[in-house]
Amino acid sequence: MKELKIIEWLGDRIRIIDQTELPHKEVFLELHDYREVADAIKKLRIRGAPDIGVAAAYGFALGAQAMRASSKEQFLAKLRPVSKTLAASRPTAVNLFWALERMNKAAQSGKSVAQIKRGLLVEAKRIEAENDEANRRLSELGAELIKDGFTILTHCNAGSLATAAYGTALGVIKMAKEQGKRVKVYATETRPLLQGARLTTWELMKENIPVTLITDNMAGHFMSKGVIDCVIVGADRIAANGDVANKIGTYTLAVLATENGIPFYVAAPVSTIDLSLSSGADIPIEERSPDEVTHIQGVRIAPKGVKAANPAFDVTPHRYVSAIITEKGVFKEPYVEKLKKL
């Protein structure tokens, strides 16, 4: 997807592809204000952990650019609500907070208002470039786990759309194909918001990688029939012990994979690892509107007034994770010491 820029800095605004409109329409939106960036993240127009991190960094730089102040102290005070608004957009993907922390540090280190503004843009661009490098490197390392002829099951969307770069789970698959391996993908539709059906299939078809769409509840069937050689997913946050928060339904897939003796891999940049949390139990899980469950693409499918739950992520205990693929290496159990060293 080289031709498609997922997030683009245009000097005084950010251009994004609206992921809620895909695959039917390729709609580009221009965001002129950091509040618009926060809103786009909240509404999943921009989504996927690394993508959210890059967007937050540019959102911060955009907010800073519009700010006027007579002293560094006043400027930093004015930047606080920018950071707070972006941080409040979504709670689970740690890349958001990681990027904002880097931006806040960059702001502190500038001497004058003008210098801080310039420094923030440099830092946002660096975050984007490093993210791209990390995606490619982890994809290369992960591709070593993929054999010629593999059929890989993936969940949600962890490709270019989710990373504003090469991709993580889909990056590994793309790299394996670039290396000349024949690979096939089974993509789960990923209810409630269908990132698999709408986005992963769209990306893979653009890459000419054979993909079969299945509903989430078909995964066990295909695993038990011996169709799937491995499962690869991305992550929104990885705790210090290797527990992984990812799109709701990931835990189910990990248990099914283990039961069927199928390797279950998690591909994510180091920026997704949160060493401040000792286990996945502490990862905040976003609870989204029940309407996303009672409706599909705006069409009601459940009786009016029915109660619905909508946790957007779940936590897969590390014992189900065969390996965590990062740009710094592929790690297997026990995770604690290895992740700490990163």
- Contact footprint for ligand MRU (CB under 6 A): 44, 47-50, 93, 156, 158, 162-163, 168, 195, 233-236, 246-247, 312
What residues pair up with 211 in beta bridges, in sequence order? 185
> Which residue's CB is nearer to ligand MRU, number 143 or number 158?
158
DSSP E strand stretches across the chain: 7-9, 14-17, 28-31, 151-154, 184-188, 211-214, 230-233, 237-239, 244-247, 264-267, 273-274, 295-296, 299-300, 313-316, 323-326, 329-331
- Our CB check for ligand MRU shows the closer of 75 and 98 to be 98
Shortest Å, Cβ 19 to ligand MRU: 8
Least distance from ligand MRU to the Cβ atom of residue 271, Å: 11
What is the chain's alpha carbon radius of gyration, rounded to the nearest angstrom? 20
Question: Measured at CB, which residue is nearest to ligand MRU?
Answer: 234
Catalytic one of 12, 51, 236, 291: 236
What gap in Å lies between CA 217 and CA 249, rounded to an integer? 10
For 215, the token pair is: 């509903």
- Check if the beta carbon of residue 37 is closer than 8 Å to that of residue 65: no
Comparing CB distances to ligand MRU, the nearer of 116 and 197 is 197
Closest separation in Å from C-beta 314 to ligand MRU: 10
Burial of 171 (0-12, 13-18, 19+ CB in 10 A): buried
CA distances from 29 to 10, 49, 52, 110 (A): 12, 20, 16, 31
Nearer to ligand MRU, 104 or 135 (CB): 135
Residue closer to ligand MRU, measured from CB, 96 or 256: 96
Alpha-helical (H) ranges within 284-334 are 291-294
Q: Which one, 50 or 110, has the nearer CB to ligand MRU?
A: 50
Nearest approach in angstroms of CB 190 to ligand MRU is 8
Give 3-state DSSP helix, strand, coil % of the chain, rounded to 5.
45, 15, 40
Dihedral angle of Cα 170, 171, 175, 176, to the nearest 10 degrees: -30
DSSP labels, 158-207:
-SHHHHTSS-SHHHHHHHHHHTT---EEEEE--TTTTHIIIIIHHHHHHT
Q: Supply the minimum distance, in Å, between the C-beta of residue 67 and ligand MRU.
A: 28
Nearer to ligand MRU, 195 or 294 (CB): 195
Compute the least distance from the CB of residue 211 to ligand MRU, in Å.
16
Minimum distance, C-beta of residue 226 to ligand MRU, in the bound complex (Å): 25
Does the active-site annotation cover 236? yes
Q: Which amino acid is at 86?
A: L
Residues with a known catalytic role:
236
